[in-house]
Structure 1
């Protein structure tokens, strides 16, 4: 797939971070396909920045498992490989389990309402097959306990590994199979509202392990 014609203007004050996020999001959304070669000159022109922040972004994306680089030869979007995705899923599930466990004693009714509203947006997006909106709703739902837990290490790990799984989840949320997550979210909310940190944490972990069937098809 060629680089999109529409130029993305990145604010000069945040070149590194915004270039990274723009490229990360393009890969997650499928604008750049698995196995596609990435040219830093073309990407720099697309983003309207120099090659330096693009190269730095590509290095971060390689650490996150979203791109692969052969020094002096090529940089390409990483294929969807079961082993790497399983590793990312295991780590991500564990981090969400920990975040929920730590957050439950501190969750307010406003926090629970925020989770309910996010789950409603998530369900509505699935009903209309709006994958982008479904992913946003899912992100918003899980972001609440991560934020309330105030565990910076958990947030940092999730920021690195969640995008890897989002590529796979786009396939899941484009089908009716994603509907089971709505009920799983509600179960997490119910346990949180009851103050049962152990049950809520286990439900969160289980929710993030539901990608196994898709992994088995790779």
Structure 2
């Protein structure tokens, strides 16, 4: 799909972070499809920012594995990559496990209630087959623990690697297998409420490892499909 038509999506007063997030979200949501060429002029017109924040955003997205650049030739959305997905899953699961361990000693009733609310929204989104809303609610659920951990390093690592997985999760949350995450979330909340740090950390890791079948499906796909 081409870069969306329209100008000035991002206010001129906003910083390069907004350009980065807008392009990243368009890739994760599938608006910008794997293999699609990205033209600086199109992105500048779409976002309503100068060329500099666009180029800086593309450089960050390349580091995150969402964009591929061949200097002087082209910039394109990265195809879904098996190795990158496996690496991202391992790192993301470990970071969320660490976040639980560091958050749990100081977790408040309000934060537990926020997790329950996010899981209810997550379940409702799955019932409506709304993958975007499911991903947003899932982000909110796990984000409570990441924020409560007060660990900036965990947050920064997740900011880099989670988008790679979110591209796959759009597929998972459109399938029946995604429904199991609701019960897994409930278990995480219960273990956190009971003060069981080891159990909550293990349940969180298991929850993020449920993407493994989708990664393996990607690995088993014909080379033409995986790289197109």
Which residue does the alignment assign to 1:65?
A: 65
Residues 47-94 of structure 1: CA deviation (Å, up to 9, x unaligned): 111211110100000011110111111111011111100000100000
* Match runs of 1:92-171 below 5 Å: 92-171=92-171
Q: Which residue is equivalent to 2:29?
A: 29
Instruction: Supply the distance in 2 between the matched residues of 1:118 and 1:9 (Cα, whole angstroms).
Output: 28
Taking the TM superposition and a 5 Å limit, the aligned residue runs for 1:44-63 are: 44-63=44-63
CA RMSD of aligned residues (A): 0.9
Measure how far apart 1:39 and its partner are.
Answer: 0.6
- SS of the equivalent of 1:209 reads helix
The whole-number CA distance in structure 2 between the counterparts of 1:75 and 1:196 is: 47
Deviation at 1:11, TM superposition (A): 2.4
The Cα shift of 1:15 comes to: 2.9
Shift of 1:12: 2.6
The structural deviation recorded for 1:8 is 4.1
What SS does the corresponding residue of 1:95 show, helix, strand or coil?
helix
Task: Indicate if the aligned counterparts of 2:39 and 2:75 stay in contact, CA closer than 8 A.
Answer: yes
Counterpart secondary structure, 1:36: coil
Which moved further from structure 2: 191-200 or 11-20?
Answer: 11-20
The 3-state SS of whatever aligns with 1:211 is helix
Q: What residue in structure 2 maps to residue 185 of structure 1?
A: 185
Would you identify which runs of 4 or more consecutive aligned residues in structure 1 move more than 2 Å? 6-9, 11-15
What secondary structure is seen at the aligned counterpart in 2 of 1:217? helix
Please state how far the C-alpha of 1:137 moved relative to its aligned partner.
Answer: 0.7
Equivalent residue runs for 1:188-203 within 5 Å: 188-203=188-203
CA contact (8 A) 2:8 2:49 kept: no
**If the length of structure 2 is used for normalisation, what is the TM-score?**
0.94
The count of corresponding residues between Structure 1 and Structure 2 is 218
TM norm structure 1: 0.98
Quote the Cα distance in structure 2 between the aligned partners of 1:168 and 1:120.
22
Name stretches of at least 5 consecutive residues in structure 2 with no aligned partner.
Answer: 219-228
CA–CA separation in structure 1 for the residues paired with 2:13 and 2:54:
15
| More divergent stretch after superposition (202-211 vs 8-17) | 8-17
Q: Partners of 2:111 and 2:42 in 1: how far apart?
A: 43
CA distance in 1, matches of 2:63, 2:13: 24
Question: Which has the larger displacement, 36-45 or 2-11?
Answer: 2-11
